[in-house]
């Protein structure tokens, strides 16, 4: 029996992610900042705070508030995006908060807010994962205590093949057979999931395979994040 070798348009193997890089300390005015790049997708994150939460009625005496603001800049895609918040950016901002909050020791900062502004300066799919990776590094570089680092990557399915890290073509234009399924995920450095979304259909067995593939890749991302933090002497 011959096994069909699945060929991705990018030439990547099913379990191959795009080239990644990371840098910490890119915005001197911020309390912490970082850049994370995956292929053609680039996210930059800047942390301001912890600072007193205003208005006062939004203060939590039990813990600080993590407030993430995700935006895709107008020129980040070829057909310019209308500037300003929209439904998608509001949803992704919340998802970034939920993915990071479990590792953040935010109870140490009652009545405060930690603002994280994430800008996508170039988008080729996987922007929420890049945003989470940049934001987590920026928070660590701001000296916010964290139980773990988090690393985010999508796996998914192209027709019947489980693949890692879908690019824009695979995410939005791939139409062969069963089409594509995109599953962004976030893992702690000890392998626990803090976030998973599923856009499309997938069987239980293939979902397990996709999670394992992403978990393995998250360890590689963690090493890159750790090195970027170490290079500035700001390792968590
Ligand atoms: P993610 O970027 O996390 O994969 P989506 O699946 O919503 O999130 O988006 C996939 C990709 O589609 C984005 O990375 C970007 O390249 C493109 N995209 C999203 N929204 C727009 C938009 N309003 N205009 C043009 N391209 C967009």
Q: Domain residue spans in the chain?
A: 20-228
Q: How confident is the model at residue 228 (pLDDT cuts 50, 70, 90)?
A: very high
Q: Any alpha helices (H) in the chain, and if so which ranges?
A: 87-100, 127-141, 168, 204-231
CA of 27 to the centre of ligand 1 (A): 25
> Quick one: average pLDDT of 30-34?
98
> Quick one: average pLDDT of 153-179?
95
pLDDT digits (tens, 9 = 90+) for 69-106: 999 999 999 989 998 999 999 999 999 999 999 999 99
CATH numeric code, 20-228: 3.30.230.70
Q: In ligand 1, which atom is closest to the CA atom of 127? A: 2
CA 97 – CA 109 distance, rounded (Å) = 16
CA of 139 to the centre of ligand 1 (A): 24
Predicted TM-score of the model (pTM)? 0.96
CA of 200 to the centre of ligand 1 (A): 15
Q: In 3-state terms, what secondary structure has residue 227?
A: helix
CA of 130 to the centre of ligand 1 (A): 12
pLDDT in the model for residue 233: 58
CA 210 – CA 199 distance, rounded (Å) = 13
pLDDT in the model for residue 90: 98
Residue 5 reports pLDDT greater than 70: no
CA of 170 to the centre of ligand 1 (A): 12
Residue 171 reports pLDDT greater than 70: yes
Measured by CA distance, the residue closest to atom 6 of ligand 1 is 125
The percentage of residues in the chain with a pLDDT greater than 70, rounded to a whole number, is 96
Identify the CA nearest to 214 among candidates 129, 140, 136, 127: 129
Helix, strand, coil % in the chain, rounded to nearest 5 = 30, 30, 40
Q: How confident is the model at residue 30 (pLDDT cuts 50, 70, 90)?
A: very high
pLDDT in the model for residue 7: 82
> Quick one: average pLDDT of 145-154?
98
**Ligand 1 binding site (Cβ under 6 Å of any ligand atom):** 77, 79, 81, 88, 123-128, 168, 171-172
Could you say which DSSP state residue 62 is in? T
């Amino acid at each position: 029996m011959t096994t069909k070798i699945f060929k991705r348009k990018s030439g990547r193997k099913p379990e191959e992610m795009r080239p990644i890089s990371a840098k910490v300390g890119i915005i001197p005015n911020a309390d912490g900042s970082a850049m994370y790049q995956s292929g053609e997708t680039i996210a930059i994150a800047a942390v301001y705070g912890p600072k007193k939460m205003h208005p006062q009625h939004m203060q939590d005496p039990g813990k600080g508030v993590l407030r993430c603001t995700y935006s895709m800049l107008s020129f980040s895609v070829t057909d310019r995006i209308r500037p300003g918040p929209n439904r998608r950016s509001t949803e992704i901002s919340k998802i970034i908060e939920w993915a990071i909050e479990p590792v953040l020791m935010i109870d140490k900062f009652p009545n405060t807010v930690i603002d994280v502004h994430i800008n996508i300066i170039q988008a080729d799919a996987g922007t929420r994962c890049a945003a989470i990776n940049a934001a987590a590094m920026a928070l660590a570089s701001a000296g916010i205590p964290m139980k773990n680092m988090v690393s985010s990557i999508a796996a998914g399915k192209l027709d019947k093949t489980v693949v890692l890290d879908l690019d824009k073509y695979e995410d939005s234009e791939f139409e062969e057979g069963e089409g594509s399924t995109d599953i962004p995920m976030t893992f702690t450095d000890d392998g626990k999931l803090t976030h998973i979304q599923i856009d499309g259909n997938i069987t239980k067995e293939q979902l397990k395979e996709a999670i394992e593939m992403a978990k393995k890749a998250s360890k590689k991302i963690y090493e890159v994040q750790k090195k970027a933090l170490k290079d500035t002497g700001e390792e968590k």
